Structure 1
């Protein structure tokens, strides 16, 4: 049975509509994502390779896999997945993001199916995927459980979902909102709402209630001295990522 719940928060969509043209500017409003992207891709590729027994040194290691990048923005994750051989669908509720992503993919010689749509609409249409990349989206939706349930419905049995978000604690408020939005001005003020952040235990519970089995979680940790990100087994205090499977 598919979900018909509308989890889109119009105010959140409007924020990203306003920033759409800057997706591929490494020094623009999405600078934090450009800095984080190598770390995210390292985690994502390792998890997919482990789950589907793929050799990342092969020319097209993800060939034969259908991957959904939900909340794809300008395609910062969709494009690397396509380069690795996957069949990629990039979906975003912010309409202005789609032509930006399409044009950049064409300029890069990549074929990616970009759509302005929602997880709920795709689930209702019966779309299925081997992998869903669900990165920095769940903290922006109106109904996290409804949204994650729609994502679960789109996963094939045994499929993998990788979901990242922001922890909710005093440190994350200082780093993600005071630091990134007010001090460093990496993001426009109001991009994030701290009370929508989700703790790792809360996300694990949500994933379980959505019908998924969480199997891994790691932190993404920023070093302000080295100006780099790293993956941490222990520090999930601000940015973190989870992997979960749909029972076969």
Structure 2
């Protein structure tokens, strides 16, 4: 599978340019900082349960964070005990990730590249996560196939993304980028947002069966996010490799 099938160079450059401010909780990645505890907790609970464990115990499990950027989710999962490999095509963002992990005393294996390249090396992981990534790739089907290829049989794949609805256009595109300026303009292309039905169908073609899905919504009056039944804007999904 050629590398170009799962990455858009313009998207890589866009997020590489944000590397220096990635860890600023009030900077351009502020929405991800606020969302990250929910994402990591939701994933950890389901991954631990799939291994017959209680709570969020990920001790010793191997996890690949695809499109890890500067490492927000990678660090969150490492703090829960997972042996994390962070993968991204953006080299400057990875430099920021390595520096922050060192300052935080965390051992995370950050690598520059794409999942299909790891698959060609024979790498396999207990779980693979790709958070706010699939809406930026060139070919969703090829991307999902690449995620499946680096997942052990029976392993878990977790994705979070944005639904393609009028509400998401209003809130995640116009509101977040142009009115409230929570994100840099041009962060998202609404036409590339993914409906849950599309994600489920494309995952099945890649040998992945969606087992759980939840909306991610802000808690009123706080900066925190919560899981909900409302998938009209942000949502997160769990899938198992068949």
* 1:56 alignment partner in structure 2: 55
2:141 is the counterpart of 1:142: no
Contact residue 3 and residue 114 of structure 2 kept, 8 A: no
5 Å-filtered alignment, 1:1-248, equals 3-4=1-2, 6=4, 7-56=6-55, 61-232=57-228, 234-247=229-242
4+ runs deviating over 6 angstroms: none
Deviates more, 1:89-98 or 1:221-230: 221-230
State the SS of the aligned residue for 1:245: strand
State the SS of the aligned residue for 1:213: strand
Gapped regions of structure 1 (runs ≥ 5): none
Which TM-score applies when normalising by structure 2? 0.96
Q: Deviation per CA, 1:203-224, whole angstroms, max 9, x where unpaired?
A: 0011001111111111001245
Q: Deviation per CA, 1:34-67, whole angstroms, max 9, x where unpaired?
A: 111111122111111111122337xxx2222110
Contact residue 44 and residue 58 of structure 2 kept, 8 A: no
Gapped regions of structure 2 (runs ≥ 5): none
Cα RMSD of the aligned pairs, angstroms, is 1.2
Deviates more, 1:223-232 or 1:152-161: 223-232
Shift of 1:228: 2.9
State the SS of the aligned residue for 1:96: helix
Distance 1:123 1:21 in 2: 30
Q: Deviation per CA, 1:105-161, whole angstroms, max 9, x where unpaired?
A: 111111110011111211121110000011110000000100110110110011000
State the SS of the aligned residue for 2:91: coil
Contact residue 63 and residue 127 of structure 2 kept, 8 A: yes
Distance 1:33 1:164 in 2: 11
Report the CA distance shift for 1:146/1:5 in structure 2 as closer, same or farther (over 3 A). farther
Aligned length: 241
Distance 2:58 2:39 in 1: 17
Report the CA distance shift for 1:126/1:4 in structure 2 as closer, same or farther (over 3 A). farther
Which TM-score applies when normalising by structure 1? 0.94
Distance 1:214 1:70 in 2: 18
